Amino acid sequence: MKTNTKSYNSSYIISITLIATLGGLLFGYDTAVISGAEQSIQLYLIDSLGLSSLVHGLTVSSALIGCIIGGLISGYFSNNLGRKNSLIIAAILFFLSSLGSAYPEFLFFNIGEPSISLLITFNIYRIIGGIGVGMASAISPTYIGEIAPQEIRGKLVSWYQFAVIFGQLVVYFVNWSIAKGQPTAWVNDIGWRFMFASEAIPALLFFALLFYVPETPRYLVSKNKGDHAYKVLEKINGSKEKAKTVLTEINKSLSTSAASGKLFSYGKTVIVVGILLSVFQQFVGINVALYYAPRIFESMGAGQNASMMQTVIMGMINVIFTVIAIQTVDKLGRKPLLMIGSIGMAIGMFGVALLSYNGMFGIWTLIFIIFYTASFMMSWGPICWVLLSEIFPNKIRGQAMAFAVAAQWAANFFISSTYPPMIEFSGPLTYGFYGLMSVLSAIFVWKMIPETKGKSLEQLEGIWKKKEAGKVEVNKVNGS
C-alpha cells in the first residue's frame, strides 16, 4: 500500500530524529573516548600497580560489559517506562560515567595514589557508561522507527549509524585537540581526565533536548493512551486522516490474539532473524577493521604516521558511504543493499587474505580494506539498525530488540577479543574467516530477510503471522 509523497511534517520529524540520534553520537563517543586515554590509564592504574596486560585489556574493554547489560535491560525499561524516558535514563548514565571516569577518586580516594580499589571504581564508571550505550543502541533506533513515516523510515533510522560514526570522529578530534602541543607528562596526569569529562557536554545536551520530543505513538497506544498517540500522529503526519489511519492500524496490531506480549507470540523466526542480523553485523569483522586499523596497516608495512593517515582515510570513506546508504535505502530497499554489501565485504576480505598469504603488502591491501569498509558502511552498518527497528511486532519490540542488541554486543566482544590470537596464529586464515562470514551473511539475507521498504510497521507484522501460520499448517499435514 503506497501513500502520497510528503504526507508528513518534514521539519518536525527531522528535528525529533536528530535529537534521538544523539543517542548514537554518544554511543560512538563513549566507545571511542578510551582510545586517547588508554595509555595514560595504563601508566596510572595498571603499570604502577604491577598488573598484567590482561588487566589492561579488560580495563580498556570494560565498557563492552556494560553494553551487553544495557542491551539486555533495555526491553524492560523501554516497555515499562517508555522509549523517551528510557533514553533520558541513558543520558544520565552517560553523564555520570563521563565525570566518574574523569575523576574516579571522587569522595573515596586521593589523586596520585593508585590502588586496586581505584581501578575497580574506574571500571565501574566505564561499565555505567556502557549500560547507557547498550540502552541507547536498542532504544534510539526503536524510537526513530516508531516515530518515522513509512516512506522515509529507512533514511531516518540510517542517520543513527551516521551519528555513531560522527561521534567517533568527534571524540578523536577532541582527544587530539586536548593533547595537541601538551607535554606527555601533562596528558598522562591531567589530559586524559579532560577526554572523559568532555562527554558530559553532549550527554547534558541529549538529556535537555529529550524533554522536547514526544513519546512514540506505538508505545502510547500500548499503554491505552490513544488520544495522546493521535495528537502525536497528527503532528507527525500533518493530516488528521492519515493520523486516524495509522492509529487504526496500530490499535488493530495490538488487539490481535497473537499479540499476547510474550517474546515468541509471533513465532521464533522473527527473533532468530533479529539475533542473526546482529551477530552477522559483527562476525563479518568490521570492528576488527575499525579498532585495529592502525595496527593492521603497521603489520602490513606502513609506518606509524602512514598507518594513522590510512586510518583517517578509512574514517572519511565510512562517512561518505554511510551517506550513500541514507540516500538509497528507501529507494533501492534494504535487501538489495545488504546483498551488495555482503558481496563487497567478501571480495575485500578475501583479497586481504590472499595478499597476506603471498606476503604482498602495500597499496592493494589498503584498497581492499577500504573496499571492505565502504561495502559495510553502505549496507550492514546502517541497514542492520533499520531492519531491527522494523521487523519486530509492536507488542514484543522492546523485548526482542533487547535480545538482538545484547547479542550484537556479545558478538562484538567475542570478535574483537579473538582477533589478536587469531592473527598471531594465521593472518590469511583470519581474514579468510571474515570473508566466509560475509558470504554466509549474503545467503542469510537472501533466504531469510523480507523486504521492508515502503511498508508500515503494522503491515510488516503480517509477514511473521503468515510464516507462523504456514508452519502450523505444515505441522498439521506432517502430523496427519
Q: Exposed, middle or buried: residue 480 (CB in 10 Å: 0-12, 13-18, 19+)?
A: exposed
pLDDT of residue 214 exceeding 90, the answer is yes
Mapped onto helix, strand or coil, the DSSP state of residue 214 is: coil
Res. 390 pLDDT band, cuts 50 70 90: confident
108's grid cell: 573515596
CA distance 38 to 350: 32
Instruction: Indicate the helix (H) or strand (E) that contains 51.
Output: none
**Which of the pair, 86 or 427, is modelled with greater confidence?**
86
The dihedrals phi and psi of 333, each to the nearest 5 degrees, come to: 100, 165
pLDDT, position 53: 73
pLDDT of residue 27 exceeding 70, the answer is yes
Instruction: Express as a percent the part of the chain with pLDDT over 70.
Output: 87
Res. 1 pLDDT band, cuts 50 70 90: very low
pLDDT of residue 99 exceeding 60, the answer is yes
For the segment 182-212, what is each residue's pLDDT rounded down to a tens digit? Answer: 888 888 889 889 989 999 999 999 999 999 9
Between 16-25, 70-79, 97-106, 357-366, the lowest mean confidence (pLDDT) is in 357-366
- CA separation, residue 338 to residues 175, 333, 377 (Å): 34, 9, 10
pLDDT, position 453: 84
User: CA torsion, points 113, 119, 124, 126, in degrees to nearest 10?
Assistant: 100
pLDDT, position 474: 44
CATH H-level, domain 14-213: superfamily = MFS general substrate transporter like domains (1.20.1250.20)
For residue 451, what are the contacts with CB-CB under 8 A and spacing of at least 6? 333, 334, 335
Res. 416 pLDDT band, cuts 50 70 90: confident
pLDDT of residue 303 exceeding 80, the answer is no
**Which of the pair, 51 or 99, is modelled with greater confidence?**
99
For the segment 138-153, what is each residue's pLDDT rounded down to a tens digit? Answer: 999 999 988 988 888 8
Buried b (16+ CB within 10 A) or exposed e, 125-143: bbbbbbbbbbbbbbbbbbb
Instruction: Express as a percent the part of the chain with pLDDT over 90.
Output: 34
pLDDT, position 120: 94
pLDDT, position 297: 60
pLDDT, position 175: 80
Between 70-79, 265-274, 437-446, the lowest mean confidence (pLDDT) is in 265-274
Q: Locate the domains of the chain by residue range.
A: 14-213, 259-473
pLDDT, position 245: 87
What fold characterizes domain 259-473? Growth Hormone; Chain: A; (1.20.1250)
Q: Exposed, middle or buried: residue 340 (CB in 10 Å: 0-12, 13-18, 19+)?
A: middle
pLDDT, position 436: 96
CA distance 192 to 200: 14
pLDDT of residue 241 exceeding 70, the answer is yes
Query: What is the reported pTM?
Result: 0.81
Domains 14-213 and 259-473 share a fold: yes
pLDDT, position 312: 64
**Cβ atoms within 10 A of the Cβ of 76, count?**
13
Residue range 265-293: mean pLDDT, rounded: 82
pLDDT, position 470: 55
Output the average pLDDT for the chain.
84
pLDDT, position 468: 57
pLDDT, position 350: 94
Query: 36-40, 121-125, 470-474: which has the highest mean pLDDT?
Result: 121-125
pLDDT of residue 124 exceeding 90, the answer is yes
8 Å CB contact between 229 and 235? no
For residue 235, what are the contacts with CB-CB under 8 A and spacing of at least 6? 9, 12, 214
CA distance 470 to 461: 14
8 Å CB contact between 340 and 381? no
Res. 477 pLDDT band, cuts 50 70 90: very low
pLDDT of residue 158 exceeding 70, the answer is yes
